[in-house]
Amino acid sequence: MLQFAGFVACCNPLLTTYGCPVNQPRLPGSIYVDVANTPWQPTPFDGISIKILWQDDQSQAYTALFKAEPGAHLPLHRHRGVEQTFILQGRLVDDEGECTAGNFVWRRPGSVHEAHAPEGLLGIGIFQEPNEFLEIPTSENPQA
């Protein structure tokens, strides 16, 4: 471990390479995602699709780009962990308010709501755990 100007550095490639021996193996610290060439994946919900940007198989945490066509509806669901959402285009509306382009909303674990996108939307979501859907769409109830 090296100490300089009040900072501590070590040979952990995820923290720094300053002062590490030349022969120290270095793992890449950045993983670049080609979002434009990542395919949109359908969801069980009409008009809503996602691109998974990052996921952790062990914790089930993930980050996704998502889009909703005008009028798309996300049925009643519970947030099992914190969800953070930044809206890039359009707006996301639920019974507690709306999140418009350039704005951010986060939801506490255990919160329950449904949401819709009147004009459609494009957003980024960061999820500690996948949501638990309490209503599943069926042919008899396509808006569930």
Q: CA angle at residue 142 from 80 to 136, to 5 degrees?
A: 25
Does residue 20 belong to any structural domain of this protein? yes
Q: Is 20 found in the same domain as 39?
A: no
Q: Is 65 found in the same domain as 21?
A: no
pLDDT recorded at residue 7: 39
- The pTM assigned to this predicted structure is 0.75
Does residue 138 belong to any structural domain of this protein? no
**Residue 135: pLDDT band with limits 50, 70, 90:** confident
> What range does the domain containing 2 cover?
1-30
SS3 content of the chain, % helix, strand, coil (to 5): 0, 45, 55
Say how far apart CA 129 and CA 60 lie, in whole Å: 5
Say how far apart CA 80 and CA 126 lie, in whole Å: 13
How many domains in the chain?
A: 2
Q: Is 77 found in the same domain as 90?
A: yes
Q: Is 78 found in the same domain as 11?
A: no
pLDDT tens digits along 38-69: 999 999 999 999 999 999 999 999 999 999 99
Q: Is 123 found in the same domain as 72?
A: yes
Q: Is 73 found in the same domain as 113?
A: yes
Q: Is 81 found in the same domain as 50?
A: yes
* Kind plus residue range of the DSSP H or E element containing 78: strand 72-78
Q: Is 71 found in the same domain as 99?
A: yes
Backbone angles phi and psi of 87, in degrees to 5: -90, 120
pLDDT recorded at residue 25: 72
Does residue 96 belong to any structural domain of this protein? yes
pLDDT tens digits along 86-134: 999 999 999 999 999 999 999 999 999 999 999 999 999 999 999 999 9
